Homo-oligomer: A and B are copies of this chain.
Amino acid sequence: MNIITLLTDFGLNDAYVGIMKGVILSINPYVQIIDISHSVTPQDITQSAYLISSAYKYFPQNTIHIVVVDPGVGSQRQIIAAKINGHIFICSNNGILSLIMDKNDVEIEEIICIDNDEYFLKPVSKTFHGRDIFAPIAAHLSKGIPLKKIGTAFNQDKVVKLNIAKPFISTKNELIGQVVHIDHFGNLITNIDSETLRKFNKIPSMFKILINSNEINGIFDTYTDVEIGQPIALIGSSGFLEISVNSGKGSDYFNVKNGVNIKIQTKTKKEDECLL
């Protein structure tokens, strides 16, 4: 059975998501449709790039992932279908694939600019390409139509990349990163991956983490390694440094928003101190 996933900024109050599913099932009633989320902040491409890159790899090979976060709908922006790492992505060419294509070991198999209107739902509206283009193209692909039939080969250098902040080491030898996502639990997920941390310093207990004039000492394994209500730094489930509060909300505790900087320093061992 084929799988199509949906990631949009449509919310759940309107019928838009249901309509896209209706279009898909009208073409292929045997496909399984799975929601990643429909609560992307309207028009937030960076957030959707983060969400799809963290989710897609847990689905079976050949899953088709539709992402509709598309402030340019109806304008001259391109819609692309990309086969990457064995998965197919359908999205506007606006940077959504940045974090997926950014990896060293990425395998970009094929990119198509979708311009064959034979598979579109007619008449094509100017404001709801999710319904008229993304959904029917995904449904036809799920039935086995090859990618090259839906449009024109597209050079991967033309795929738009977001200018997403990367962690760096400052002149004071501090590792500077950024909060890139705040989840439902208020966990602050940063752009610092475990590999970058390891290169910066090999001993987790030696880290001092500074965020909005607060200080956290050491990196631990799991929320319950500190008391309830206490802050903690750990490597989260997606492999990035995360600032949390045991049974609380890091976002409230530190009073921070997406995009805030975090600094990591290495503690100097004092004479009378015995660090692990």
Contact = CB atoms under 8 A, between A and B. Distances in A.
B36 A247 contact: no
Complex copy number for this chain: 3
Interface string A212-249: 00000000011110000000001011000010000100
Contacts of A58: 19, 22-23, 26, 131
Interface in A6-63: 7, 9-19, 21-23, 25-26, 29-30, 32-39, 42-43, 51-52, 54-56, 58-60, 63
A197 interface: no
B39 A34 contact: no
A221 B128 CA distance: 12
Interface residues of A, number: 65
26 contacts: A11-B184, A12-B12, A13-B39, A13-B183, A14-B184, A18-B36, A18-B37, A18-B55, A22-B58, A22-B60, A22-B63, A23-B58, A25-B34, A25-B60, A26-B60, A29-B60, A33-B34, A71-B224, A73-B222, A74-B222, A74-B223, A125-B236, A125-B237, A127-B236, A127-B242, A128-B236
